[in-house]
Amino acid sequence: MKFTMIRRITALGLILVLAAGIPIQASSASTEKVTEDAASTKSLQEAQDEKAQLEKALKEAQGTIEDLKDSKGDIESKVTELNQQLIDISARITDLENQLTAKSEDIQETKDELAGAKEREAQQYADMKVRIQFMYENGQTSYLEALLSSRNISEFLNSADYIAQIQSYDRQKLTEYQDTVESIVNLEAQLEQEYTDLEALKSTVESNKATVAAMMRQKESELADISGDIEDAQSDADYYAAEIQAQEELIAAIKRAEAEKAAAGVEEHPYTGGAFRWPCPSSTRVTSDYGTRVSPMSGASSNHKGIDIGASAGADIIAAADGTVTAASYSSAAGNYVMIDHGGGLYTVYMHASSLLVSPGQTVSAGDVIAKVGSTGISTGSHLHFGVSLNGSYVSPWSYLGG
């Protein structure tokens, strides 16, 4: 994940700048040699400070992992809740579909009953006409005339002149059949409305299901993202743990070197040179002095362990004194840099170069061009950072430059 990688780079930048940009890694044939080279240019306190910075970064990464795991647990709980909602909604939809099926069957049964009732009404009316015909044939013409002059059964029944002549049984049955037909018609309308209501309810529930399903997909996506974040944070933590182990090895190497120096009692290669040459002949403009300062940018140290000389890009950088190149490499903080051993535990370092013109193991003389001014690494502009280390601790370059 991007933000954890940025945090890692920033933390390492701070650690490197704390040591004035001298990287742990120097060009060599083995990790052991790299550690020994770093031990010769870095004080025990500096190495311990860098370890403390790494431990702080590791603690932050571990805290991030715990926070992310808590968030993951919350999302997993929400996913479980949404999944149960989907199960409940699906069951509700199935129930509504069953109700619609049953309601459809009720409507069909009602239609069948209505058809039967109308058929019985028609049969009763036909039977009544047979009786009227019989009455006519026996001289009762008023029934036939009333029947023939009526447009329908209702008009016939409502004719005040003939109601009294219809037998009580016929009138009762016709009324019952008419009531039955009316009741069935009303029931059918009611069932049809209930069916419509059920369809509308089902549509609403299906819409709710779609909404919950969308929420479920979103939470599952969040869950996948946060799982990736946890993996990235764990990668950061593993990285810091490995760097801490490397720093512990460096601290052990520094302690061994100090013990060897103490046992020897004398300096193996005493420094015999005089005052240093100015490392950037084209410019004497010091833009940031040795010692405490306001950090010029994010990632830069407020405890400056050298001097910055502002100069044009591509200007010559020269060796301040005779010596042997021990490192000519790149680091994220120092950019392109050169380190020269002048003997007697005295080293000079030249940082932020645009290009390097020497190689590790090469012997140089004071005034030899070793690199070109640039702005690589943690830098606000084209300049040379010039530092001096004596017996593993950075000291003011002015002691050797005559300032």
Lowest mean pLDDT among 23-37, 113-127, 193-207, 295-309: 23-37
Ranges of CATH 2.70.70.10 domains, the chain: 270-401
Ranges of CATH 1.10.287 domains, the chain: 43-265
Residue 316 CA to residue 108 CA, distance in Å, equals 101
- Of 227 and 8, more confident: 227
Q: Which amino acid appears at position 180 of this protein?
A: T
For 328, residues 6+ apart whose C-beta sits below 8 A from its C-beta are: 27, 337, 338, 339, 356, 358, 359, 360, 370
pLDDT interval class at 3 (50, 70, 90)? very low
The residue among 324, 328, 378 whose CA lies nearest residue 350 is: 328
- Of 333 and 389, more confident: 389
Summarize pLDDT for 260-281 with one digit per residue, the tens: 656 654 444 444 445 799 999 9
* The predicted structure's pLDDT at residue 136: 57
Lowest mean pLDDT among 221-230, 238-247, 253-262, 301-310: 253-262
The DSSP line for 311-349 is: --TT-EEE-SSSEEEEEEEEETTTEEEEEEEEETTEEEE
Question: What's CA 202's distance to the chain center, in Å?
Answer: 36
* The predicted structure's pLDDT at residue 323: 94
What's the average model confidence in pLDDT over 114-126? 74
- Highest-confidence range of 100-104, 131-135, 170-174, by mean pLDDT? 100-104
pLDDT interval class at 8 (50, 70, 90)? very low
The residue among 332, 374, 334, 339 whose CA lies nearest residue 353 is: 374
Tokens of 190: 């009611």
| Order of strands across the sheet that contains 369-372 | 316-318, 369-372, 355-356
Q: Does domain 43-265 bear CATH number 1.10.287?
A: yes
- Highest-confidence range of 10-14, 18-22, 116-120, 377-381, by mean pLDDT? 377-381
Q: Does domain 270-401 bear CATH number 3.20.20.100?
A: no
Lowest mean pLDDT among 74-78, 158-162, 236-240, 325-329: 158-162
